[in-house]
Amino acid sequence: MTLGSISTAARAVSCRGLTKSFGSGNVQARALQGATLDVSAGELLMLVGPSGCGKTTLISIIAGVLDADGGECQVLGHDLMHLTPGQKTAFRSQSIGFVFQSYNLIPPLSASDNVALPLLIRGVPARDANARANDMLAKVGLADRVASLPGDLSGGQQQRVAIARALVHRPALVVCDEPTSALDHRTGHALMELLSDVALAEGRSLIVVTHDARIFGFAHRMAEMDDGRVVHVGRPNAEQLQAAALTPHAALKEAAP
């Protein structure tokens, strides 16, 4: 299988000509103007592009948290354009881990309870859910903050809680919006290693929106967006890898999907 021609069977995401506008009349923002993107099973795809080009909008549609106006969107065998709201909720809770740009933690819940939520929704008993949540919080370096409320954590710590919450139920597709923006280089690098390990295990897939050139070396492929469209997809180029200033990881592995 080559990167240029991903077989349909190995596709986790297949979006064609997606459109999405916000607002109405003269104050319409055309966030997506025919965005097309494929992500294969086992792939880490990074999505880059200038502020306002539609990155968050595109991944929100792929994750089933936002409805497109038009186009096609197949994710993990589901036709998202034709799911009922109830089916979409079930799809999200079963199959998707989402790290929001703004973290979206629930303020009155402890870090442990925030991370346990996706498990509770899936019917895992509270004790087991909190034990698994605490294990995942330990993996992101927050073993000593499981009882803390989000408001008592730093931005980088809240970001790590959000990442733990996205990974805890081992979803088939993890979608992260700027997961390292609040983290120093070392913590960001460690988080990307964890994300790659956990989110890509067993043929699962990972989409990372980022402006952080330091993590480009983790990508199998980079998708570049501009003005509501995906304008280029390919392996990280020399310039991007140079900007990463770290040893390329998955990018140069022979076994890339």
Ligand X SMILES: Nc1ncnc2c1ncn2[C@@H]1O[C@H](COP(=O)(O)OP(=O)(O)OP(=O)(O)O)[C@@H](O)[C@H]1O
Residues that bind ligand X (CB under 6 A): 22-23, 29, 31, 49, 51-57, 101
Which distant-in-sequence residues (6+ apart) come within 8 Å of 146 by Cβ? 110, 111, 112, 133, 134, 137
Report 53-82 residues binding Mg ion (CB under 5 A). 56
Cα(44)–Cα(208) distance, integer angstroms: 7
Kindly state the smallest distance separating residue 26's Cβ from ligand X, in Å: 13
The pair of structure tokens assigned to 74 is 């197949």
Q: How far is the CB of 90 from Mg ion (least distance, A)?
A: 26
Whole-angstrom distance, CA of residue 126 vs CA of residue 39:
34
The torsion region of residue 25 among left (phi > 0), alpha (psi -120 to 50) and beta comes to left
Cβ nearer to ligand X, comparing 55 with 132: 55
| Number of residues forming the site for Mg ion (CB under 5 A) | 1
Nearer to Mg ion, 60 or 95 (CB): 60
204 phi, psi to nearest 5 deg: -75, 170
Q: Least distance to Mg ion from the beta carbon of 14, Å?
A: 22
Rounded to a whole number of angstroms, the minimum distance from the CB of residue 52 to ligand X is 4
Task: Work out what residue 77 binds among ligand X, Mg ion, none; the CB cut-off runs from 5 to 8 Å by kind.
Answer: none
Tell me the residue number closest to Mg ion, measured at CB: 56
Of 51 and 84, CB closest to ligand X: 51
180 is a contact residue toward Mg ion (CB under 5 A): no
140-157 burial by CB neighbour count: b if 16+ within 10 A, else e? bbbeebbebbbeebeebb
CB of 35 to ligand X, least distance (A): 10
Q: Name which of 56 and 110 has its Cβ closer to Mg ion.
A: 56
Q: Please choose which of Mg ion, ligand X, none residue 57 contacts, taking the beta carbon within 5 to 8 angstroms, the exact cut-off set by kind.
A: ligand X
Q: Angle at Cα 69 formed by Cα 68 and Cα 75, nearest 5°? A: 30
By beta-carbon proximity to Mg ion, the closer residue of 56 and 158 is 56
Q: Which is nearer to Mg ion, 56 or 205 (CB)?
A: 56
Dist. CA 206–CA 229, nearest whole Å: 20
Task: State in angstroms the smallest separation of the CB of 176 from ligand X.
Answer: 12
Q: Is 33 in contact with 226 (CB distance < 8 Å)?
A: no
Residues forming contacts to Mg ion in the complex (CB under 5 A) are 56
